[in-house]
Amino acid sequence: MVGRVSREPADSDKGRVSAQRRQDTRQKFVVGNWKMYTTAEQAGRLAKAIVEGVGIDDRVSVAVCPPFPYLALVGEILKGSRVALGAQNLYPEKEGAFTGEVSPTMLLDVGCKYVILGHSERRHKLGESDAFINQKIGVALAAGLRVILCVGETSDQREAGRTEAVLGRQLIKGLAGLSADALAHLSIAYEPVWAIGGRGHHATPQQAQESHAVIRRRFGRMFGERAAQSLVIQYGGSVKPNNAVALLDRHGVDGALIGGASLNADQFLAIIRAGINEPKTRGEQP
Ligand code: PGA
């Protein structure tokens, strides 16, 4: 069980831990994005190891997002566990002649609770626009899925001092026309594009905290302070066991979206442990 293993701050700023953590009441949310990796056999093994490792511990909300072909298989393994199932994408229609696409209804049908939308790989490699992402978010929430919306700037945009403007645009356009009520089941993952992929460039805890504050402020202006205070904002981009505590201890960093390290059960479980913070007030899942 996750909670039985002691939690070791592994990065540089051990000293800041408790003072900052005590202010956060949002439950940490750690999600594995398996991207286009694993075979059926590996997916099954990984899911079993995660379920076993998490046990009955519910101090951190956990979800895994396998590739579409393995959703049902992994969903079976997760049944009755503390680990929720999520998908990496959807098409914003209930059904129809959309060859190769997957609908929200189908995701719910195989047991998905979450869906990742607006991931930078879909924005940058597959050309998804803010408007299309906005359409997906509306349809997903209306269908009853919980949405993890990814936002983040490229290195050029950061260097040009445009981080805040980019995040603002992605939020304004991505969440256009949605109500604060509808967004109760939305969380945001701040994923700077330059930090994704495990090449050693994760955002510093300070950079993550600053961007999270920008996102929360902007969200507050759009949907009100209450909605902003309950908004779960995860950090994503090269999160590993050796930097997770320092990142997750920052005020306003409410969890992590993990790519590479989520494919290794030991690493993923170590990151979940890094999110454990006691004592805490437990809030509802995003
Ligand atoms: P990474 O991926 O952890 O491998 O950097 C994160 C993501 O793309 O969600």
> Which residue's alpha carbon is nearest to atom 7 within ligand 1?
259
Which of residues 239 and 23 earns the better pLDDT score?
239
- The verdict on whether 119 is a catalytic residue reads yes
Residue in 100, 67, 62 with CA at minimum distance from that of residue 82? 62
Annotated catalytic residue, options 121, 128, 191, 202: 191
Q: CB-based burial of residue 176 (10 Å sphere; 0-12 exposed, 13-18 middle, 19+ buried)?
A: middle
User: Residue 198: pLDDT band by 50, 70, 90 thresholds?
Assistant: low
In the block, tokens 């299309």 appear at 132
Question: How confident is the model over 101-154, as pLDDT tens digits?
Answer: 999 999 999 999 999 999 999 999 999 999 999 999 999 999 999 999 999 999
Mean pLDDT of 9-17: 42
Structure tokens at 247: 């990142």
What is the model's pLDDT at position 217?
98
What's the burial of 209, exposed, middle or buried (CB within 10 Å: 0-12/13-18/19+)? buried
Helices 40-54 and 265-274: angle between axes, nearest 10 degrees = 30
Cα separation, 215 vs 219, in Å, equals: 6
- Give 75's Cβ-side CA count (13 Å radius): 18
Residue 164's Cβ-count burial label (10 Å; 0-12, 13-18, 19+) is: middle
Most confident of 2-6, 76-80, 279-283: 76-80
Can you tell me which atom of ligand 1 is nearest the CA of 257?
Answer: 9
As separate numbers, helices (DSSP H) first and strands (DSSP E) second, the chain gives 12, 8
Distance 192 CA to ligand 1 centre (A): 10
- Start-to-end CA distance of the chain, whole Å, equals 23
Q: What is the pTM of this model?
A: 0.90
Using left for φ > 0, alpha for ψ between -120 and 50, and beta otherwise, residue 95 falls in beta
The domains of the chain, with CATH numbers, are 2-274 (3.20.20.70)
Cα separation of 111 and 57, whole Å?
21
Pairing of strands 61-65, 83-87: parallel
Query: What amino acid occupies position 61?
Result: S
Q: Quote the CA–CA distance of 275 and 286 in Å, as a whole number.
A: 15
pLDDT of residue 201: 79
pLDDT tens sequence across 81-108: 999 999 999 999 999 999 999 999 999 9
Pull the structure tokens for residue 34. 């398996």
* Residue-level length of the chain: 286
Residue 278 pLDDT class (50, 70, 90 cuts) = low
How far is the centre of ligand 1, averaged over its atoms, from the C-alpha of 256 (Å)?
9
Is 212 an annotated catalytic residue? no
C-beta 241 within 6 A of ligand 1: no
Name the residue of 191, 240, 262 to mutate for ligand 1: max ligand atoms within 8 A of Cβ.
191
Find the mean pLDDT for residues 191-220.
Answer: 92
> For ligand 1, is residue 198 a contact (CB within 6 Å)?
yes
Please say whether the beta carbons of 54 and 266 come within 8 A: no
